[in-house]
């Protein structure tokens, strides 16, 4: 019975985190689209430069860093591999 609860809680945590990661990855693209929708072409050169730099930065992938040491791209494949590895470590610790 404890194993079923453990599996259920792990599945719920993975689904919630996967949903949030997809939201973060999708918002990165939406920022560039929203900036392009502003009337930047009617503004001055400094404002155009600012919008162009912001749009260029929003097209780069989002990096998730832990304490500034490790970097991980915010993508579904990386998230799944991290969750599988964490699940394997938890199972190994649980079995000992």
What are the tens digits of pLDDT across the range 40-95?
A: 888 899 988 888 888 877 766 666 666 666 666 666 676 777 778 778 888 887 87
In a domain, 23, yes or no: yes
**Per the domain annotation, does 25 fall within a domain?**
yes
Q: Grade residue 6 by pLDDT with cuts at 50, 70 and 90.
A: confident
- Report yes or no on 71 lying in a domain: yes
Q: What pTM, to 2 d.p., does this model score? A: 0.41
Evaluate whether residue 18 is within a structural domain: yes
Centre a 10 Å sphere on the Cβ of residue 87 and count the other Cβ atoms it contains: 16
How deeply is 79 buried, as exposed, middle or buried, from its count of CB atoms within 10 A (0-12, 13-18, 19+)?
Answer: buried
Residue 6 neighbours by CB distance under 10 Å: 14
Q: Is the residue at 38 inside a domain?
A: no
Domain count, the chain: 1
Average pLDDT over residues 22-31: 68
Query: Is 20 a member of any domain?
Result: yes
Q: Which domain holds residue 21?
A: 2-32+61-95
- Let me know if residue 49 belongs to a domain: no
- Report if residue 17 sits inside a domain: yes
């Amino acid at each position: 019975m404890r194993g079923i609860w453990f599996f259920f809680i792990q599945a719920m945590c993975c689904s919630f985190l996967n949903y949030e990661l997809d939201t973060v990855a999708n918002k990165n693209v939406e920022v560039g689209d929203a900036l392009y929708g502003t009337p930047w072409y009617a503004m001055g050169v400094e404002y155009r430069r600012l919008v162009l730099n912001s749009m260029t930065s929003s097209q780069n992938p989002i990096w998730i860093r832990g304490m500034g040491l490790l970097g991980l791209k915010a993508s579904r494949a990386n998230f799944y591999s991290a969750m599988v590895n964490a699940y394997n470590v938890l199972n190994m610790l649980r079995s000992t």
